[in-house]
Structure 1
Amino acid sequence: MPDIACAGNADDAAPLDWIGPEIKSLRKARGLSLQDLSALCGKSIGFLSQLERGKSKPTIGALHDVAAALGVQVSWFFPHGESAEPSDGGVVVRRERRRQLTFDSGIADYLLSPNLSGQLEILWSVMAPGSDSGDAYQHRGEEGGVVIKGTLELWVGEQHFVLEAGDSFTFESHTPHRYRNPGSTPAEIVWVITPPSY
């Protein structure tokens, strides 16, 4: 359930309420009614209406579904941080220039890739204790990652895994998946996704 936050340190991130209006703008630009969008993404008209008005926040999976129905990647909703240094040449992302999405569920995703025009996306997720991705979701591609700190519970299809710091994983993203931090301390995970789904 995201609130969008500005790039940079999570401690000084200011929430922005622009995801709903952005979804509404994209929907209208594509000539879709709420009913059309509902049919395309499988979410109720009521939920979508509340989302567009800022009365509801999507889970990570719901944001994937809505973005796919609108023909964009989730990265469309990442606010752009400070402009990249010309000397970074589309190769490097400086810590203070990372783009970030902060979800109400307690997950902050930092985009580590300088752009999403290639075949690879790298995210650093910081998950508060008890936070989760919401209902299982799926998208095209393959993804993997490594738990840097804490504990990650991962469901891929009917399989359930508990991963600790240093454990890694890979799976095909078209398999329904979800995850959560069951621990009492924050979990940090680096994800690699191809092709980019954000």
Structure 2
Amino acid sequence: MTDDVSRTGRQDPYPVRMITSIGAEIRQVRRSKNLTIETIAERIDRSIAHVSKLERGLAEPSLRDLYALSEALEVPVGWFLNQRNPGAAEETGLIERNGSHRLYKQGGITTEVLSPVLGTGVEVMRSVFEPSASTPKRRSAHKKREDGYLLSGKLELFIDGKKFLLNAGDSYSYTTDSVHFCRNPDRDPAVLLWVTSDVKRG
């Protein structure tokens, strides 16, 4: 399957575009927080050379990189995702039209940011998992809550070594300081609606 054609053979009216400006986004946020490349490399457990290549647009970030960078720079992961067709100026921050969502695709997972406003502490996402696609196994240094609702298909959710099979209509909630990942064990795509939010500190 190509990026522009679905499994049914129909052409996607919004072809997936690779991220082209993420390097400038990383550099801009890093400098605004007075952080060095060395500091970011240490925080995301990557080499200085790799971070330098990301900033110069010479390397494409993996999903692991995006999640780690969002934590290292303390911005929503959606900050780095492409916006395909910006909407009308008067709708900015209020309405997010179909086809205008920030989007990223890698490893058989297509993720769209549905939130009209980023950086508010709450981020709404929609992910489509192709068969056998899985997220990276990870534990977040900055604790957040993730809540999800499986719209269709099946999804295996792993939390601290425990495996849960989700079917359409099932929901979940956990904090991201646990070791977690998920994968699609089925032959059909799985569609997940999920929300990340800041955890209030008592």
Normalised TM-score (structure 1): 0.77
1:6 counterpart residue number: none
> Unmatched 5+ residue regions in structure 1?
1-8
Q: CA deviation digits over 1:89-138, x for unaligned, max 9?
A: 73432212222122x21111111111124342211101111211123232
Indicate the percent of aligned positions where both proteins have the same amino acid: 29
SS at 1:121 equivalent: strand
Task: Give how far 1:69 is off.
Answer: 2.0
1:165 counterpart residue number: 168
| Match 1:110 to one of 99, 109, 112 | 112
Matched to 2:102, the amino acid is: R
The structure, 1 or 2, with the larger RCO (C-alpha pairs under 8 Å, 6+ apart) is 1
8 Å CA contact 1:147, 1:190 repeated in 2: yes
CA RMSD between the two structures: 2.8
Q: CA deviation digits over 1:61-85, x for unaligned, max 9?
A: 3312123223433222122343333
Superposition pairs of residues 1-198 of structure 1, within 5 angstroms: 12-24=15-27, 26-27=29-30, 32-52=35-55, 54=57, 56-85=59-88, 88=91, 90-102=93-105, 104-138=106-140, 139-195=142-198
- Equivalent pairs counted in the alignment come to 187
C-alpha distance 119-10 of structure 1, shift in aligned 2 (>3 A): farther
- How many Å separate the matches in 1 of 2:42 and 2:125? 30
2:6 counterpart residue number: none
